[in-house]
Amino acid sequence: MKHLIGLFSIIAIVLTISCNQGTEPKNENASATSDEAAVTAGGQENVKDSDSQKDVVKVAMSSKDHTILVAALKQAGLVTSLSNAGPFTVFAPTNEAFNKLPDGTVDGLMKDDKKEDLQNILQYHVFMSALKPESFSDGQTLGMVNGDNVTVSVKDGKTMLNNSVTIIASIPASNGMIYVTDGVLLPPVKK
Amino acid sequence: MRKILFSALSITAIIILLNISGCKPKNAGDSISGDAASKVFVPPGKYDELYNFVSGGFSGQVSVYGIPSGRLLRVIPVFSVDPENGWGYSEETKPMLNTSHGEIPWDDQHHLDLSQTNGEIDGRWLFANANNTPRIARIDLKTFRTAEIIEIPNSAGNHSSPFITENTEYVIAGTRFSIPLDNQNGDVPIDSYKKNFKGTISFLSVAPNDGNMKLAFQLLLPGMDFDLSHSGKGPSTGWFFFSCYNSEQAHTLLEVNASKRDKDFILAVNWKKAEEYIKAGKGKKQIVKYAHNKYDEATHTATSVMETETTVIDVKDFPDIVYMIPCPKSPHGCDVDPTGEYIVGSGKLAALIPVFSFDKIKQAIAAKTFDGDYEGIPVIKYEAALYGEVKKPGLGPLHTEFDGKGNAYTTFFISSEIVKWNIKDLKVIDRQPTYYSPGHLMIPGGDTKKPYGKYLIAYNKITKDRYLPTGPELAQAAQLFDISGDKMKLLSDYPSIGEPHYAQAVAAELISKNSLKIFKLEDNKHPYVTMGEKNSKVVREGNKVHVYMTAIRSHFSPDNIEGVKLGDEVYFHLTNLEQDWDVPHGFAVKGNNNAELLVMPGETQTLKWIPEKVGMYPIYCTDFCSALHQEMQGYVRVSAKDSNVPISFSLGKNSDALDSVLTK
């Protein structure tokens, strides 16, 4: 497709150069050449829409407790995917939760050569389908987006993940549900 | 023919060669210029410069294109049912297609006019006519939906409509067919045309705040055919001009019998005067029957009311309302230039284009420079109204629009071309071929005080070899010209929906800034709305089963329903709980003798289903709403008439066996 556009613009430029008689007014909207035709970086997160309910990314972005998560989603290149139609269940560790990790873990993951590890961890926080709070049940297994499982336990009205991370709040979003967690879920170590 | 084509092709080839090798100055035979591609290319993700609303003709709908790309943006269902989104099939939209003849699934949609303020497009509403069963529709440009349809009594072949006055005070609708009036006996011999058949022109007032239409009054006229019309403006404010043919009053073989006279007429109507008479109570009330259908955005539901009265003025009793101006040979287009001074009649069979001067018309009326009368209507002397004639412009003139720079552009059906001419000196400036046989043309704002004189689109009736063949039935074509220079330049052509007649276009910003993204759920006043999944339920009322159902990514609630029996009428009232732009949900039931629903965010729509066999009926979402769209499904169990299966419904309860597998 890019080749095609390129070809078109070459033809257009050649024709313009060779035949432009300088008398025709340009169409401002449609005069764009190939460089402008290049697709704007990113996807649905760029849609200008202040009328719709916020999606999971926009909800996270508006939370002062999730700045590390948002930065990590950006670094991992997951903003576009999570701005999609979903439906998603996103476990959203707070800044405090990230800060509980050993010193230097987050900074290390934010390095470009660790992008895959970061993606793996973040995708371990996303489940396809918008789970309602009442959808969680004790002993339930959730197959996460990265391919690993999370085990749910529900005891005394408290929902825990992998017996280590607790859900402390739920926020509905346009394309799914966000569950704020007090810890970061770490995928099982690959053998 | 073949030889001519062949040589035409080779000439084109030579021209293209010349162009590529030497870039010689362009000439009139040059059908496409080198930089046309860049002028119509809108890069991915960029918006078009203009919205273009195109009548659908026999499709009954209105299509919306982006200009200059020619990209199809949307088809708005208006007069024809549209199973794609349930228009005319959902319980809420069925009343929109109601008429005094019952519910009609189709019409022939010819002309469009955008609402205006001070003679300029204001971007609020689009009016559309139905030709066959006379109706006018108003489309709300916030939602791109048909908001109102009103039927017109005493009318047949509602062709010279829906043209509006400068401030959208009225939508005007004239009859193509004259007929015995609705309150008279129509069971008369056809050859009693001269005695029993009448034409009418209807004035529908438009409420300035919400656009609601009302049949204000009708003018009763001699039997003949009214073809097209346009409002006066500037000096001709308060007047309306119609083209008329069949002044011979033929009722058979009009092809021959309505072409006998040397001249037919342009009808000049002083509507301000008519309005005064109506206000003074001079109109006569008549009992008639016509449907008036409105769609309420709060309840997401249409209602149809049968109206029973119209007010009629017989113009022969009020000779200062209407005047006739002779116009050569069965005029079609009747177009008023942006200054409001010149009225152009385009006689389909005429060898010239007459241009009338409003100033001269006024003087002729004052001085009574008449040439007798036509059934009691004064006929102004041709020369007394004439500004001048465009001589030998082409063959078969049909329709004229204006660029706001002193030029007029006329389509010629027979000679397949568009001719540009100067309004002042009436000289032809340029002519370009069209492919083939254009009907209407359109310049954005070309019938207003302020044309956007950069583009012109010709709507061609015949396409033959223009596109890859698709069997005997071919799409018609829209052909885009750049008219910013002295010479018109063909930029592109593209197939169109149905049969485009007239069209409208406007700078995109005027419309796009108001475009609605979602319906607010909290404002949903539908009587069967389900505000949240927790309120979803199934209620039996006799043999009616009401399903209060919700849709959200990616399930329906409920999605398992039992207790429906043969003999039941099931109503699925589906509320889309999404509050996210561009996330509609669809809904369909196996075996339903009905269409589907397509429900927008925050909206409620109802699909009726009468099951006819005992069994299991899958339901599912028809719109690829999400990654788990294919999971958005459920079942309705239908039992025998005498079954004692109770009504039950659920979401998310699996059988015990499966639950144990999941938790392992």
Q: Which chain B residues have a beta carbon less than 8 Å from that of A129? A: 554, 628, 631
Look at residues A38, A73, A6, A55 and name the one whose alpha carbon lies nearest to residue A178: A55
Residue B631: closest C-alpha in chain A: A129
* B256 Cα to chain A: minimum distance (Å): 47
Which residues on adjacent β-strands are paired with residue B307?
Answer: B290
ipTM over 0.85: no
- List phi, psi (to 5°) of A102: -55, 150
Helix (H) or strand (E) holding B98: strand B98-99
Stated length of chain A = 191
Q: Which chain A residues have a beta carbon less than 8 Å from that of B35? A: 12, 15-16, 19-20, 24
Alpha carbons B620 and B609: distance in angstroms, whole number: 14
Q: Please, which pLDDT band fits residue A7 given cuts at 50, 70 and 90?
A: very low
- Out of B44, B625, B662, name the one closest to residue A85 (CB): B625
pLDDT of residue B257: 87
Test A130 with B68 for CB contact under 8 angstroms: no
Handedness of CA B174, B180, B186, B187 (dihedral sign): negative
Residue B508: closest C-alpha in chain A: A29
Amino acid (one-letter) located at B529: V
**pLDDT surpassing 90 at residue B100:** yes
B27 touches chain A (CB under 8 A): no
Task: Quote the crossing angle between the two packed helices A67-75 and A115-123, to the nearest 10°.
Answer: 120
Using a 10 angstrom Cβ sphere, with 0-12 exposed, 13-18 middle and 19 or more buried, the burial of residue A83 is: buried
DSSP characters for B456-482? EEEEES--GGGSS-BTB----EEEEEE
Q: Give the model confidence (pLDDT) of A54-77 as tens digits.
A: 999 999 999 999 999 999 999 999
Q: Give the model confidence (pLDDT) of B438-495 as tens digits.
A: 999 999 999 999 999 999 999 999 999 999 999 999 999 999 999 999 999 999 999 9
pLDDT of residue B77: 98
Q: Among A14-23, B79-88, B190-199, B381-390, name the one with the lowest average pLDDT.
A: A14-23
Alpha carbons B168 and B164: distance in angstroms, whole number: 6
Are B330 and B318 a contacting pair, CB within 8 Å? no
pLDDT of residue B347: 86
pLDDT of residue A8: 44
Alpha carbons B639 and B652: distance in angstroms, whole number: 22
Look at residues B139, B172, B151 and name the one whose alpha carbon lies nearest to residue B97: B151
Handedness of CA A29, A34, A35, A37 (dihedral sign): positive
> What is the arithmetic mean of pLDDT over B243-263?
90
* A142 Cα to chain B: minimum distance (Å): 9
Q: Give the model confidence (pLDDT) of A75-102 as tens digits.
A: 999 999 999 999 999 999 999 999 999 9
Are B52 and B42 a contacting pair, CB within 8 Å? no
Q: Please, which pLDDT band fits residue B654 given cuts at 50, 70 and 90?
A: confident
Joined tokens for residue A174: 């346009």
* A4 Cα to chain B: minimum distance (Å): 12
**Predicted TM-score of the model (pTM):** 0.90
Joined tokens for residue B105: 């699934």
**pLDDT surpassing 70 at residue B349:** yes
- List phi, psi (to 5°) of B302: -95, 150
Joined tokens for residue B77: 């269902």
Are B110 and B159 a contacting pair, CB within 8 Å? yes
Test A49 with B554 for CB contact under 8 angstroms: no
Q: Please, which pLDDT band fits residue B324 given cuts at 50, 70 and 90?
A: very high
Handedness of CA B16, B421, B260, B269 (dihedral sign): positive
Joined tokens for residue A115: 């992008």
Q: Please, which pLDDT band fits residue B319 given cuts at 50, 70 and 90?
A: confident
Residue B561, helix vs strand vs coil: strand
For residue A108, what are the CA distances in angstroms to A67, A72, B661?
A: 17, 11, 39
Test A55 with B43 for CB contact under 8 angstroms: no
- List phi, psi (to 5°) of B397: -65, 140
Terminal-to-terminal C-alpha distance of chain A = 40
DSSP characters for A162-179? TTTEEEEEEEEETTEEEE
> What is the arithmetic mean of pLDDT over B522-541?
97
> What is the arithmetic mean of pLDDT over B67-91?
98
DSSP characters for B178-196? -B--TTS---S-GGGHHHH
Q: Among B337-351, B506-520, B523-537, name the one with the lowest average pLDDT.
A: B337-351
pLDDT of residue B93: 98
B83 touches chain A (CB under 8 A): no
Are B224 and B244 a contacting pair, CB within 8 Å? yes
> Where do we find the tokens 């002309």?
B111
* A102 Cα to chain B: minimum distance (Å): 33
Joined tokens for residue B449: 């005080």
Q: 3-state DSSP: chain B helix, strand, coil percent, rounded to 5? A: 15, 45, 40
DSSP characters for A17-77? HHH--S-SPP-TTT---HHHHSPPSSSGGG---SSSPP-HHHHHHT-GGGHHHHHHHHHTT
Alpha carbons B470 and B530: distance in angstroms, whole number: 46
Alpha carbons B87 and B484: distance in angstroms, whole number: 40
Q: Please, which pLDDT band fits residue B611 given cuts at 50, 70 and 90?
A: very high
Alpha carbons B227 and B264: distance in angstroms, whole number: 11
Look at residues B328, B125, B361 and name the one whose alpha carbon lies nearest to residue B232: B361
> What is the arithmetic mean of pLDDT over B256-277?
93
> What is the arithmetic mean of pLDDT over B532-561?
97
Helix (H) or strand (E) holding A11: helix A2-19
* A140 Cα to chain B: minimum distance (Å): 5
pLDDT of residue A12: 41
- Out of A8, A39, A175, name the one closest to residue B580 (CB): A175
- List phi, psi (to 5°) of B628: -110, 30
Look at residues B418, B444, B440 and name the one whose alpha carbon lies nearest to residue B429: B418
Residue B583: closest C-alpha in chain A: A85
Residue numbers of B between 119 and 178 with CB closer than 8 Å to A: none
For residue B474, what are the CA distances in angstroms to A103, B100, B326, B468, B470?
A: 71, 34, 38, 9, 6
Residue B658, helix vs strand vs coil: helix
Alpha carbons A49 and B144: distance in angstroms, whole number: 18
Alpha carbons B482 and B409: distance in angstroms, whole number: 12
**pLDDT surpassing 50 at residue A11:** no
Test A47 with B43 for CB contact under 8 angstroms: no
Q: Which chain B residues have a beta carbon less than 8 Å from that of A20? A: 35
- B461's CB contacts (< 8 A; 6+ apart) are B413, B436, B437, B438, B439, B476, B499
Which residues on adjacent β-strands are paired with residue B636?
Answer: B561, B617
Look at residues B370, B245, B266, B369 and name the one whose alpha carbon lies nearest to residue B326: B266
Test B35 with A130 for CB contact under 8 angstroms: no
Joined tokens for residue B253: 């073989």
Which residues on adjacent β-strands are paired with residue B639?
Answer: B565
Alpha carbons B446 and B452: distance in angstroms, whole number: 7
pLDDT of residue B19: 44
Chains A and B: how many Cβ contacts under 8 Å? 124
Look at residues B99, B88, B104 and name the one whose alpha carbon lies nearest to residue B146: B88
Alpha carbons B547 and B534: distance in angstroms, whole number: 13
Q: Which chain B residues have a beta carbon less than 8 Å from that of A51? A: 517-518, 581
Q: Which of B23, B480, B580 to mutate to test the interface with A (most CBs of A within 10 A)?
A: B580
B553 touches chain A (CB under 8 A): yes
Q: What is the DSSP letter of B630?
A: G
Count the neighbouring beta carbons within 10 Å of the beta carbon of residue B281.
8
* A146 Cα to chain B: minimum distance (Å): 16
β-strands B560-565, B633-639 pairing: parallel
B500 touches chain A (CB under 8 A): no
pLDDT of residue B400: 98
- B328's CB contacts (< 8 A; 6+ apart) are B262, B263, B264, B345, B347, B349, B350, B351, B352, B354
- List phi, psi (to 5°) of B392: 45, 55
* B181 Cα to chain A: minimum distance (Å): 50
B465 touches chain A (CB under 8 A): no
pLDDT of residue B659: 59
Test B626 with A29 for CB contact under 8 angstroms: no
Q: Which chain A residues have a beta carbon less than 8 Å from that of B625? A: 85
Alpha carbons B232 and B447: distance in angstroms, whole number: 10
DSSP characters for A72-136? HHHHTT-HHHHTSS--EEEEEE-HHHHHTSPTTHHHHHTSGGGHHHHHHHHHTTEEES---GGG-
Amino acid (one-letter) located at B654: N
Q: Please, which pLDDT band fits residue B657 given cuts at 50, 70 and 90?
A: low
Q: What is the DSSP letter of B631?
A: G
* B454 Cα to chain A: minimum distance (Å): 9
> Where do we find the tokens 């500037």?
B234
- Out of B34, B581, B627, name the one closest to residue A19 (CB): B34
Residue A35: closest C-alpha in chain B: B43
Share of chain B above pLDDT 70, in %: 94
pLDDT of residue A38: 44
Alpha carbons B622 and B355: distance in angstroms, whole number: 55
Average per-residue pLDDT for chain B = 93
Q: Among B18-32, B90-104, B268-282, B298-312, name the one with the lowest average pLDDT.
A: B18-32
Q: Which chain A residues have a beta carbon less than 8 Å from that of B41? A: 8, 12, 30, 32
